């Protein structure tokens, strides 16, 4: 552990500069043009990588071959931000109103960039490293877009690996979970249309807010009355938008749903019941409805063999006290799940220590774990490509 981490500590100031730049200048999913350009310029500055850009809109793949082995490893990081106003007093706080890196994707890319620099300088592996920088994880668009653009045909890999920082887990420790690890998420938008009018004459209107309010409450019964207690699922109405004035009955209402399930059977049942409730609730109030479904969800399933292999490489590099197997699972989602459907691999968690959870306005990434995250990527590449 000391050798890799100590050497990467020498680049800590450089890592902080990359991280703080990305944090100051966040960009939303599928709008990451400047972030992608910044990352690509850093990769090209190392002088060793073949850098390809604009894969699935803003995706980047940087490849480096050393030696004569045909083995290829893929290491993936994301770099999109969230539509949330940051509430932190930081000298590198977001400079973009209502947009911020409150999930740590800026740090994920920083750690992979630091590993890229180290691997290019040391070249202590035999095979090909492909560094995959992915846009639009938050909207579940980025991985499917890169795959659709020929990611694995143009840049084949034998196995692929991902990592996410996780508040609440011990800082700098790595956690590995075999099998189903993160939930499938379906993001839907529901538009309810009634008949608008003056607030003083409700008899001449059909109020979509009343219909939407009833629907919100009805949706709460799906998990509690249909999901087996030993399973996990959640239906969240994250946005309910309608009207502007107190004396106007709105014509339409918008609900945005986040639907999370952990088995294909539960996903099919939950989504079916949501469609049924939307139709029936809206009809009962005299409203019509339209459902706009996002990218279909997928459970993130770690390959058991690759999970054990990655954990063993990490244990040999950093010691038993830094590696936990049988790690946690979450109802959070990850579009890395789509990559794992195409190529075997695993997705681990890097402890971020105590603090607010991701997507909170006061979430802060722990910069002190940047070298450890970068060191994991280095150890994995060197351990896999022997």
CATH of the domain at 101: 3.40.630.10
For residues 288 and 307, membership in a common domain is answered with no
Give the residue numbers spanning the domain of 43. Answer: 2-182+299-384
Residue at a domain's end among 293, 322, 344: 293
Structure confidence at residue 3 (pLDDT): 86
Q: Residues 107-123: pLDDT tens digits? A: 999 999 999 999 999 99
For 239-245, what is the mean pLDDT?
A: 97
When pLDDT is averaged across residues 238-257 and rounded to a whole number, the result is: 98
Q: Are residues 319 and 225 in the same domain?
A: no
Last residue of a domain, one of 271, 293, 315: 293
For residues 162 and 232, state if they share a domain: no
Do 132 and 347 form a contact (C-beta atoms < 8 A)?
Answer: no
Q: Which residues pair with 348 in a beta bridge?
A: 163
pLDDT for residue 2: 64
Domain ends where: 277, 293, 309? 293
User: Taking residues 371-378, what's their average pLDDT?
Assistant: 98
Which one, of 143, 132, 135, 34, lies nearest residue 81 by Cα? Answer: 135
The answer to whether residues 137 and 273 belong to one domain is no
Tens-digit pLDDT profile for residues 178-212:
999 999 999 999 999 999 999 999 999 999 999 99
Segment 39-50 mean pLDDT: 98
Q: How far apart are CA 349 and CA 329, in angstroms?
A: 10
Q: Are residues 47 and 34 in the same domain?
A: yes
| Number of domains observed in the structure of the chain | 2
User: Mean pLDDT over residues 308-316, rounded?
Assistant: 97
Active site residue ranges: 80, 137
Whether residue 74 sits in one domain with residue 110: yes
pLDDT over 70, % of the chain: 99
90-94, 254-258, 263-267: lowest mean pLDDT where?
263-267
> Residue 97's pLDDT band (boundaries 50, 70, 90)?
very high
Q: Is 101 annotated as a binding residue?
A: no
Query: pLDDT-based confidence at 154, cuts 50/70/90?
Result: very high
Q: What is the pLDDT of residue 227?
A: 96
Task: Check the annotation: does 21 bind a ligand.
Answer: no
Asked if residue 290 belongs to a known ligand binding site, the reply is no
Indicate whether 240 and 224 sit together in one domain: yes
The pLDDT of residue 285: 98
- The verdict on 16 and 120 lying in the same domain is yes
Query: DSSP assignment, residue 205?
Result: -
Quote the CA–CA distance of 209 and 240 in Å, as a whole number: 9
Residue 57 in marked binding region: no
Residue 175's H or E segment, with its range, is: strand 174-176
Average model confidence (pLDDT) across the chain: 97
Q: What is the CATH number of the domain that holds 213?
A: 3.30.70.360
Same domain? For 209 and 286 the reply is yes
323-368 confidence digits (pLDDT tens): 999 999 999 999 999 999 999 999 999 999 999 999 999 999 999 9
């Amino acid at each position: 552990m000391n050798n890799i981490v100590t050497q990467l500590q020498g680049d800590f100031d450089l890592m902080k500069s990359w991280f703080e730049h990305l944090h100051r200048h966040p960009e939303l999913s599928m709008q990451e043009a400047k972030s992608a350009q910044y990352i690509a310029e850093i990769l090209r500055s190392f002088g060793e990588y073949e850098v390809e850009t604009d894969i699935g809109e803003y995706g980047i793949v940087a490849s480096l071959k050393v030696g004569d082995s045909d083995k290829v490893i893929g290491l993936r990081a994301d770099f999109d931000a969230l539509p949330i106003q940051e509430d932190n007093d930081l000298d590198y706080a977001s400079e973009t109103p209502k947009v911020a890196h409150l999930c740590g994707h800026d740090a994920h890319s920083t750690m992979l960039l630091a590993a890229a620099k180290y691997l290019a300088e040391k070249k202590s592996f035999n095979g090909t490293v492909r560094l995959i920088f992915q846009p639009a994880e938050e909207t579940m668009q980025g991985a499917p877009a890169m795959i659709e653009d020929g990611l694995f045909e143009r840049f084949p890999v034998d196995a692929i690996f991902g990592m996410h920082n996780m508040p609440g887990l011990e800082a700098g420790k790595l956690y590995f979970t075999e099998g189903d690890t993160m939930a499938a998420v379906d993001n839907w938008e529901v538009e309810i249309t009634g008949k608008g009018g003056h607030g003083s004459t409700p008899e001449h209107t059909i109020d979509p807010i009343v219909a939407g309010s009833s629907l919100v409450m009805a949706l709460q019964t799906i998990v509690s009355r249909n999901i087996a207690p030993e399973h996990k699922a959640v239906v969240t109405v994250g946005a309910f938008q309608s009207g502007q004035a107190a004396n106007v009955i709105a014509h339409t209402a918008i609900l945005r749903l986040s639907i999370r399930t952990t088995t294909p059977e539960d996903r099919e049942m939950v989504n079916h019941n949501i469609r049924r409730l939307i139709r029936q609730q809206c009809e009962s109030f005299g409203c019509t409805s339209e459902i706009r479904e996002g990218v279909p969800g997928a459970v993130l399933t770690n390959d058991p063999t690759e999970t054990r292999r990655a954990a063993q490489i990490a244990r040999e590099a950093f010691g038993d006290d830094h590696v936990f197997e049988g790690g946690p699972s979450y109802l959070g989602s990850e579009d890395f799940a789509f990559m794992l459907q195409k190529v075997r691999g695993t997705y681990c968690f890097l402890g971020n220590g105590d603090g607010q959870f991701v997507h909170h306005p006061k979430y802060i990434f722990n910069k002190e774990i940047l070298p450890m995250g970068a060191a994991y990527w280095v150890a994995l590449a060197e351990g896999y490509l022997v």
